[in-house]
Structure 1
Amino acid sequence: MASNSHPARRPTVTDVARAAGVSVATAGRVLGGYGKVGEEMRVTVQEAADRLGYSPNVVARSMRSGNTHSIGFVGADISNPFFATAMRGICDVAREEGYEAILMNSDDRLETERNAVRVLLDKQIEGIVVAPTSVTDVEHLKRAQEQGVPVVLLDRHIPMLDTDSVGIDNEAAAREAVEHLLELGHRRIGLLASVDPEESPELVSPPGSRKLIVHGVARPSIERIRGYISALGGYRIPPRRRDLRYSPIGDIAQAHQQAFALLGQRPRPTAVFAADNVTTQGLFTAARAHGLSVPGDLSIVGFDDLDWTTLVEPAVTVVAQDPLAAGRQAAQRLFLRIKGDTDPAEQIVLATRLIVRGSTGPVSPSAAGMPATD
């Protein structure tokens, strides 16, 4: 038998006024937070609103006031601890400003990111922090700016976009990590990196040179590969293509598979730099699967100081960055723009540090004696 029941109607200001025994105008002033109302009357109206389960129509209110007191964050992969922690920083700042943050996950897919930005704009948000999937296709971000919505970039800098960005010097951070291994005597050093399959790095040798140059868009992974090659170049060591392995962004299974293949080579590297937290995890598990002693058989340097890197034995040497500070800085820049700051766009570069732990050590005599081949 068909039911005659209907979904409960959302309580209105009129309903609250009737329940409180006051005029609609008085209820509107209390619930809208404007005008003068006595404390006793304010309490009466608020109690009535609570009893009825009244909540304001944010969209309607935003049309009247011109703002929603909300910002958006489009993260590349919120399951990644870096973006999860950065999100916490953004939400903390938003709360301090009396705003709410709406989270969207792009899954590092451009079309998903475009849709996320469209949804946020439809919700009348006042600003967006985004970790862009592409550093070349940014028309959707430009459109947001053209609509008067400020945009701040997290973890990426896009020269063609006139906006603030917060990130690190990826090339310098990677160079310091690999130089640490070189100073320990390692000369055959592998690299693992997560890359976008559609924007994979291209290693080319200039005519008449054994050097390799990395071609690719300025994503963090590409910049870290450049840092790796730069460090080797400082010791006059030509990188070998066979020692550079890539896996799709965020794919831990592929990261493990690529690491396992790298460590199965003969000769294998005596040390490996993993250029992000996903490949760091894949590398550590692959070393265990091969039965390698760390750092006796293999030295490991990873990226991001995650909890697990200090809970394993040995603890992992890592390049540490501060995603909480990055999120806070990005949100703070965004609120400056929301409040009307018109200063030129700023590229904020946060410091990193190399934390040396037990996973790196001098190259062992047996490993150093292995013949090197391309």
Structure 2
Amino acid sequence: MCNFRVAGGQVAVTQKGITLKDVAAAANVSRATAARALNSYGYVGDETALRVLEAELLESLRSLSIRGFILAPTSATDSEHIVRLVRDGAPVVLIDRVVKEVHCDSVVVDNEGGAGEAVDYLVANGHKRIGLLRDESRIFTAQERLAGYRNSLQSHGIALDESLISVSRSTVEHAVEATIRLFSRRKRPIALFTVDSLMT
């Protein structure tokens, strides 16, 4: 990978051929944001930081003439760095997630169907007020699992209750806080479905 360092307010790149401008363009962020993410200073959102690091890694691998890529995208929408790989003719296979703008092979599971089956199971066991713990992510898997939750409730004639949905960052600490908030409500859920294994 490239090694970035800050010196006198300037960001220098120690690997030949890869510049901060390249990484920022690939991640679709400003150079300042890319510098903050790569040097771990200032605030950068988790998803943006992951996208910058992913873009940096891909740009580094491209400079080494890597012939193909198997990727699990960090975002379902900000995918310019992957689009560039495909556009440049690099063989790309996406795993676990797909990105609408990227036209390539992918290997995924049925997240929507699996989420629906989980909620179906809870309903079959008499649970009607089913809480949802979800993250803020725009990642494909989270979106699909949310759709499965909603579709299952609808298929059982259960109205979607937004008060039963709690949003958290995808960490154990934030998930605990979000769960406490959810179960502290006057009309709390009697069962809980989560979209992320880190939250379970």
TM-score by length of 2: 0.71
What is residue 238 of structure 1 aligned with on the other side? 159
What is residue 178 of structure 2 aligned with on the other side? 258
Q: Does 1:267 align with 2:187?
A: yes
What is residue 139 of structure 1 aligned with on the other side? 80
- Measure the CA separation in 1 of the matches of 2:142 and 2:151: 14
- Measure the CA separation in 2 of the matches of 1:108 and 1:175: 31
- CA change 1:108–1:184 in 2 (3 A) is farther
Q: Secondary structure at the match of 2:108?
A: strand
- Measure the CA separation in 1 of the matches of 2:63 and 2:127: 54
What is residue 184 of structure 1 aligned with on the other side? 125
Q: Does 1:219 align with 2:143?
A: no
- Measure the CA separation in 1 of the matches of 2:141 and 2:136: 9
Q: Is the 8 A contact 2:86 2:103 kept in 1?
A: no
Please report the RMSD computed on the Cα atoms of aligned residues, expressed in angstroms: 1.9
Gaps in structure 1 of 5+ consecutive residues: 1-105, 200-217, 281-374
Of 169, 180, 190, 1:248 maps to: 169
Structure possessing the higher radius of gyration over alpha carbons: 1
Q: Residue 108 of structure 1: CA displacement?
A: 6.4
Q: Secondary structure at the match of 1:236?
A: coil
Q: Is the 8 A contact 2:99 2:140 kept in 1?
A: no
What is residue 279 of structure 1 aligned with on the other side? 199
Q: Residue 139 of structure 1: CA displacement?
A: 2.3
Of 147, 150, 173, 1:229 maps to: 150
What is residue 109 of structure 2 aligned with on the other side? 168
The letter for the 1-side match of 2:80 is: E
Q: Secondary structure at the match of 1:129?
A: strand
Residue pairs, 1:299-318, within 5 angstroms: none
Q: Residue 234 of structure 1: CA displacement?
A: 1.3
Q: Is the 8 A contact 2:86 2:102 kept in 1?
A: no
TM-score by length of 1: 0.39
Q: Is the 8 A contact 2:73 2:98 kept in 1?
A: no
Gaps in structure 2 of 5+ consecutive residues: 1-46
- Measure the CA separation in 1 of the matches of 2:69 and 2:48: 17
Write out per-residue CA displacement over residues 57-93 of structure 1, whole angstroms, 9 at most, x where no aligned residue: xxxxxxxxxxxxxxxxxxxxxxxxxxxxxxxxxxxxx
Q: Is the 8 A contact 2:55 2:81 kept in 1?
A: yes
Taking every aligned residue pair, what percent have the same amino acid on both sides? 35
- Measure the CA separation in 2 of the matches of 1:228 and 1:108: 28
- Measure the CA separation in 1 of the matches of 2:141 and 2:49: 13
Q: Residue 110 of structure 1: CA displacement?
A: 1.4
- Measure the CA separation in 2 of the matches of 1:124 and 1:160: 24
The letter for the 2-side match of 1:255 is: A
